[in-house]
Chains A and B, each alone.
Chain A
Amino acid sequence: MAAPTRPFPAPPPLGEGPGLHLPARRRRPARRVSLLRSAALVAGKDLRIEARSRVTTSQVLPFAGIVLLLAAFAIDPSRAALAGVAPGMFWTAVLLAAVLAAGRSAALEVAGGTGDGLRLSWLDPGGVFLGKVAAIFAQLLVLEAALLAGLIAVYDFHVAHPLLLLASAVAATAGISAVGVLYGAVAAALRTRETLLPLLALPVLTPEALGGTQAWTAAQQADLGDGLRWLQLLTLFGCVLLSAGVAAYGALLEEE
């Protein structure tokens, strides 16, 4: 507790002063890489990193598998009950795995210092977002395919409408990937990322979980029922989340 050597200066009024002064206009690069090309470049980079490190296949997939296993223990393992809860358990496992994958995807930028590189580069921020979404999307689809196999084997899951299954999975995964990348960027450089990212992302993902579960439940039954309505909802959400991400990602990457 050192006594002050001189009286405090009055702090500058809020909104002014060195710490809070923001330039009125940010200079944009004159020549910019297109959105699609930026997306392709970033997606390629992330997928190449995954191909080399295999984190998703060696860590995230087993994690999701264990979640499914644990969930089966939590419920009465009589086969009739398991088939009923299989869709819910599947999407819960996917959501938890997705949060892990999203944290990893965001960490790639921080650890390698490439976040700054992306900021300073000519890449379109919306394209960067879509590229990262594409990379996570691909990894999650692979994960879901593997989990589906487990579901059929262990949870006595029978598919009556494979197209609905596939379409709803694609739609849901698109939304999940968008949320993962966006909130990953929000939490990226924070030390509390591991706890904060799930807390932020999971409530936003409840429509995906609900839609996915309902659609897959409908895909199990002979009668489609509400299945197509849920697919519509998932598609709508996916589009909205992707658009929101493209719009907001730039704001998150902006330099001070």
Chain B
Amino acid sequence: MRDLGYILAGYLLTGGAVAGYALSVRLRLRRLTRRAQRGFPDGGLS
């Protein structure tokens, strides 16, 4: 396929970015709920 590099870069970057973003949201959520569960009144801010 001509220009395969650009095409692959596009598809992989898009997929990676989306997956990475979803993961980052999940990580932030997990960190928050875990802190609350562990009983840090300030959410671990201290």
CA distance A8 to B41 in the complex (A): 8
Number of interface residues, chain B, beta carbon within 8 A: 4
Instruction: Bin the interface of chain A by size.
Output: under 10
CA distance A86 to B39 in the complex (A): 62
CA distance A2 to B44 in the complex (A): 11
**Residues 15 to 46 of chain B near chain A (Cβ within 8 Å):** 39-41, 46
Q: Closest B residue to A4 by CB, please name it.
A: B41
Q: Closest A residue to B41 by CB, please name it.
A: A4
The reply to whether B39 and A3 form a contact with Cβ atoms under 8 Å apart is yes
User: A140 CB to closest chain B CB, in angstroms?
Assistant: 41
User: B32 CB to closest chain A CB, in angstroms?
Assistant: 13
User: A83 CB to closest chain B CB, in angstroms?
Assistant: 41
Interface flag for A1 (CB, 8 Å): yes
Q: Closest B residue to A3 by CB, please name it.
A: B39
Q: Closest A residue to B39 by CB, please name it.
A: A4
Q: Mark A1-29, 1 if CB is under 8 A from B, else 0.
A: 11110001000000000000000000000
CA distance A198 to B41 in the complex (A): 36
CA distance A4 to B46 in the complex (A): 13
* CB-defined contacts of B40 to chain A, threshold 8 Å: 1
Q: Closest B residue to A8 by CB, please name it.
A: B41
* CB-defined contacts of B41 to chain A, threshold 8 Å: 2, 4, 8
User: A4 CB to closest chain B CB, in angstroms?
Assistant: 5
**Residues 117 to 141 of chain A near chain B (Cβ within 8 Å):** none
* CB-defined contacts of A8 to chain B, threshold 8 Å: 39, 41
CA distance A1 to B40 in the complex (A): 8
* CB-defined contacts of A3 to chain B, threshold 8 Å: 39
* CB-defined contacts of A4 to chain B, threshold 8 Å: 39, 41
CA distance A1 to B46 in the complex (A): 6
Name the 5 nearest CB pairs between A and B, nearest first: A4-B41, A1-B46, A4-B39, A8-B41, A1-B40
8 residue pairs from A and B, CB less than 8 Å apart? A1-B40, A1-B46, A2-B41, A3-B39, A4-B39, A4-B41, A8-B39, A8-B41
Further pairs besides A1-B46, A2-B41: 6, Cβ < 8 Å: A1-B40, A3-B39, A4-B39, A4-B41, A8-B39, A8-B41
